[in-house]
Every structure is written in structure tokens, then in C-alpha cells.
Amino acid sequence: MTTPKDQVTETFKHGHTAFMPYFTLGYPDYRTSLEIIQSCAEAGADLMELGMPFSDPLADGPTIQNSTQVALENGMDTKKCLHAVSDLRKRGITIPLMLMGYYNPVLAYGEERFVEKAAESGANGFIIPDLPPEEGASFEDHCRHNELALSYLLAPTSTEARMKLVSKRASGFVYLVSLTGVTGARLELPTYLQDFVTLVRRHVTHPLAIGFGISTPEQAQEVGKLVEGVIVGSKLINIARDSDDPAMACGQFVSDMTAALKHNS
């Protein structure tokens, strides 16, 4: 039987670059966020990164920070985020769902309880930006016990020793941060990306997915030639904010992005 963790890894082996949109749970409200995520899944997203709102999102730029603040004001908390995963599964969404959040709320909720409840709700794994592998042993143990993935992050500033450690400790895929900064749509991609990916591949055997700064089908197509997965967040939040029909607009964006990535295959 395929485990939730294995489902994540297998998604990067479908013959095209996988597309993983990020969206904040509870933005602009609970119901609309689920409708947007469902629309993204139906439009061809291969995985979804579900943002768990936190008051101090260190890795996120102003767009996602604002969305998390709105979600917090709407009453979103860890329990409601886990409930959202269950609700998405009830809506018929079958693609892998990765919960992205910061460690403080997880610690407050209880590591073991959080991972067990996530597994029960139908999550496939986690992205915890401020949990380094040097401090992740107990969380990794809970993930292994529940057969969930844990994706660690690597940045252009990461040492080769850190790359080796992440390769040893991560599961599902490795998240490559394309920029030395916070999330947010950019007009141009950094010129060092290819060298960065080449260096990481010397030490990491997991599928690689790049996020931070990608906002157009052309950028996704360019990055998709280098790695197994592309992640986009801020652009999707902007589309939802500016549209009269956020679910439809976000679905159309995902359709355009997945078409560009499949063109690479």
C-alpha cells in the first residue's frame, strides 16, 4: 500500500515538472480558501502547499504576511487548519497536501499530537521553514511513525555539509529556496539558479522543488527545466485578492502554469 509520504515522492515522477501552488488556509475567509484550493487541484495542481497562519512568518514577504494576518483575524488556528485538510478530502481532493507552517504553533499544540491529527485528517506531510534538521529529530520520528513526509529547505547560502545532512534527513522532496530573502513575486529569476541546483544534486537524491519568486508561466517553464517541482505562492495570493471570483481566477492561473510545465516534458 502506498503511504502518504510515498505519494509525495511519486508525484514528482509523472513525466513532467510538478506544480505545487501555495495558499493560506483561511484567506480571505475559510470557505473561500477551500474553494480556491479545490479549484487549483481541479485545474491540474500536482500537490498543494497549505499555509498555516502564524503571527511571525519569518520567511514570508508582505503578500503572504498579509494573508496570514487576515486568516488569523478570521480565527484560523492549528486545530482549524487540520480540520481544513479533512474538509478538503471530503470535497474529493486526492492530490498530496503539504502543511506549511512555523514550529512555534506546532510545539504549542504538541508535536506528536499534531502529526497524528494531521495524518488522521489526510495530510501527506509538512514544510516547517524554521525547523532545521539539527533540531528536527523528534518531529522526524513522529513523521516516520505516521508515514508522513518532512521537507527540509536549502538556500543558495547552504553549505555542502548542510546539503548532505538535509539529504539524509528529509523525506518526500527537498525544497530549494531560490532567493536569499523572503517570499514574493519577482520580475526576474536569479542567474545563479542552475549552479545552485547542480551543486545540490551532487549531495541530494530526493526530488527537488524550487520556490520563492516565481510568478509567471515563463519563469516556471525556465525553472522547471532544472528541477522536479515548482512552487508558487505570493502570485496566487495576489490573484485571489484582486479577483471578483478568486476560485475561478486562481484555477485559471494554475491551468496556465501546469500547461507551461507540461510543455517541458
Give the residue numbers marked as catalytic: 49, 60
C-alpha to C-alpha distance for 137 and 120, rounded to whole angstroms = 22
C-alpha to C-alpha distance for 166 and 216, rounded to whole angstroms = 29
Polymer length of the chain: 265
- 126 and 99 Cβ atoms separated by less than 8 Å: yes
202-223 per-residue burial string, b: 16 or more CB within 10 A, e: under 16:
ebbebbbbbbbbbbbbebbbbb
Q: How many CB atoms lie within 10 A of CB 107?
A: 12
Cell numbers at residue 157, please? 547560502
Show the DSSP H helices in the chain as ranges: 4-11, 30-42, 62-73, 78-90, 103-109, 111-121, 137-146, 160-169, 193-201, 217-224, 234-242, 246-262
